[in-house]
Amino acid sequence: MEKLTKRSAPVDRSPMTLKERIYLPALLKGMSITVGHIFKKKATVQYPEEKRSFSPVFRGLHILNRDEQGRERCTACGLCAVACPAEAITMEAAERKAGEQHLYREEKYAARYEINMLRCIFCGACEEACPKDAIYLSETVMPPNYTRESFIYKKEDLLIAKPKNDTQA
C-alpha cells in the first residue's frame, strides 16, 4: 500500500558512535548557546516602570475632532460607517436648530454616534473615508473594561475638548 503523504522520514537505527555516546560535545554546544543568550538584550519590558514604544503608524482609540472654534466637525454623512468593514460604527443624523451655530459646523450633525470597539478591527478605513477630518485614530491604547456595554463608545466619549490642528499630526 502506498503512503498518502511524504511527511514520514525513515528512522536511522545505526549504532551510536563514540562521540555520540559521550554526550560531551552536544552538552558543550547546548551550554554555549545558553551562555550566548545571557548577554543578549532582553525582550521583556517591565511594564509599570517601562513603557513600550509603539510604531509611528500605530492606530489606537478613535477620536471625534472639533474645528478651531470648538464646533463638531462631523456632518453625519455616514461615509465612515459605510467604509467600516466590521460595521462597528452606527450614527443618526439630525438637523441643526436655530441658535446652535456655535455647536455644529454644518446644518446636519450626528445626533448619535457610536463605535462598538468589540467589533472594530482598527483598520483606519473610517479615518480615510471622512471628508471633514472629523474622526481619527489616536495613539492611545484602549483601556481594559469588564462589561460589554463599556466597549460601546458613544459620541460623548469620543469628542475631545481641544481641536487637533494639521501641524500636530
The binding site for [4Fe-4S] cluster comprises 74, 77, 80, 84, 120, 123, 126, 130
**What are the average pLDDT values for consecutive 10-residue runs of the chain, which has 169 residues?**
73 86 88 92 84 86 89 91 94 89 85 94 94 91 89 90 51
Spell out the domains of the chain, with CATH numbers in brackets.
62-158 (3.30.70.3270)
C-alpha cell at 62: 478613535
- The alpha-carbon radius of gyration of the chain (Å, integer) is 28
| Cβ(75)–Cβ(132) below 8 Å | yes
Q: Which of 57, 48, 137 is nearest to 89 (CA)?
A: 137
The binding site comprises 74, 77, 80, 84, 120, 123, 126, 130
Predicted model pTM: 0.65
